[in-house]
Amino acid sequence: MQNSLKRMWASLGLLAAIAAVAASTATAAHKAVNIVIWTDSDRAAAVTKVAGDWAAKNGATVKVVTKNFGDIRDNLATVAAADAPDVITAAHDWTGKLAANGLVVPVFPSATVKKQFPSYTLNAFSYGTAVKKLYGVPVAVENIGLVVNTKLAKAPKTFSQLETEALAQKKKSHSAFGIAVQQGTGGDAYHMYPFFSGLGGYVFGTNKAGNLDPSDIGVANPAFLKNASLINKWNKEGLISSKVDDAAAKNAFLKGQAAFWITGPWNADTLKKSGLSFKVMQMPAIVKPSVPFLGVQGFMVTKFAADHGVTGAATDLVTNFMASPSAQTQLAAANFRPPANLKAHSSDPVLAQFSAASKGGVPMPNIPQMDSVWGDLGQAWVKSTKGSGATPAATAFKTAARAIADKIG
């Protein structure tokens, strides 16, 4: 009996020792978790702070690497696994390409978390030809609006009023254009989208399943072509000009040479510091509502998280912590973008005006074929609004539509 008790106590002691070693190893492994996040300079400080809060609570470490925003997407395809990120800050329209190439993995927030987001923000990060999966958690939303210098012009209720007041200020200030909207030699289909949608244009239609249909290209659809002569009129009178780039548009508005500026919330701080009296609104309807493109930004978990053995931690960071109202409130304050989470708060009145200008907006298509659209659609605007020698709008957009269809195949 005594020998049996000795053996029992010895066994219990061994089990306790094994459990202690296992617990120690688990703790060490948990503390050894290191998450690498790629983000851009605009968000780096906020991401570092917010992700650092998560790391402190979870005994992990976070390394934030700053890159140019577009390079995050492009470099993800070429980076060595050892140097790759586990989490990236991303634009929703990258989703199709990154998912199709297997560079990001699906995420599965709880139903409670998903209810905190507008459906369009979740759809923006969803992709799949048969079954759609969510590949990112929305963090911020953005869109452009029409900024009005209220000392120089009244907030227009109609496009005709906008046109009249913009041309009156153009004449008064001896400017080369009436509305400060950026294009430049490379074109800018994003900033021109309110004009495009207002004339009846669209990029892709949808199929019976409700998915974007790359075979239905609306760049030169009949309704748009019927209204395209208005572009020729705007070009002739100098209402808009493709010679105007970002710097020229901003400078013209801030100096009072233009009473109207089409821009987004990234210039909210510039507007607040300008000393100008201004109002942000949606551009008035032309023939149809002049709605903007909607951009959604968020966080994605990359395939490299599995290679690094941190998939669980990276997923928790993205789907639980970064999705929370408190995290999104902090990010919104630093990024000058309205938060995606409906329970998050932004007290900034200028951001609120930009949000109001998003009504009815169209999320930028997130399918891979969108890469074949930007350049040609932008160039159609460049060619038709360059002043003297401009290509008739109907011709420019028909040419763009054919080129896009050829690229998509």
pLDDT digits (tens, 9 = 90+) for 250-275: 999 999 999 999 999 999 999 999 99
pLDDT at 14: 44
Average pLDDT of the chain is 92
SS3 state of residue 309: coil
Does pLDDT of 11 surpass 70? Answer: no
User: 């900024």: which residue's tokens?
Assistant: 147
Cα–Cα distances (Å) from 346 to 141, 296, 330, 340, in that order, read: 12, 16, 9, 10
Cα–Cα distances (Å) from 366 to 49, 97, 110, 369, in that order, read: 29, 8, 23, 8
The DSSP code for 392 is P
* 133: β partners: 127
pLDDT at 10: 47
When pLDDT is averaged across residues 106-118 and rounded to a whole number, the result is 97
pLDDT level of residue 105 (50, 70, 90 thresholds): very high
Does pLDDT of 79 surpass 90? Answer: yes
SS3 state of residue 42: helix
Look at strands 260-263 and 179-180 and give their pairing. parallel
When pLDDT is averaged across residues 189-217 and rounded to a whole number, the result is 95
Does pLDDT of 339 surpass 70? Answer: yes
- Distance, CA of 393 to CA of 381 (rounded, Å): 8
Predicted model pTM: 0.85
Indicate the burial class of 70 (C-beta count within 10 angstroms; 0-12, 13-18, 19 or more): exposed
Contact 321, 37 (CB under 8 A): no
pLDDT at 18: 44
**Closest to 231 (Cα-Cα) out of 400, 389, 391:** 391
Contact 378, 189 (CB under 8 A): yes
**Closest to 399 (Cα-Cα) out of 225, 235, 182, 190:** 225
Which tens digit of pLDDT belongs to each residue from 160-183? 999 999 999 999 999 999 999 999
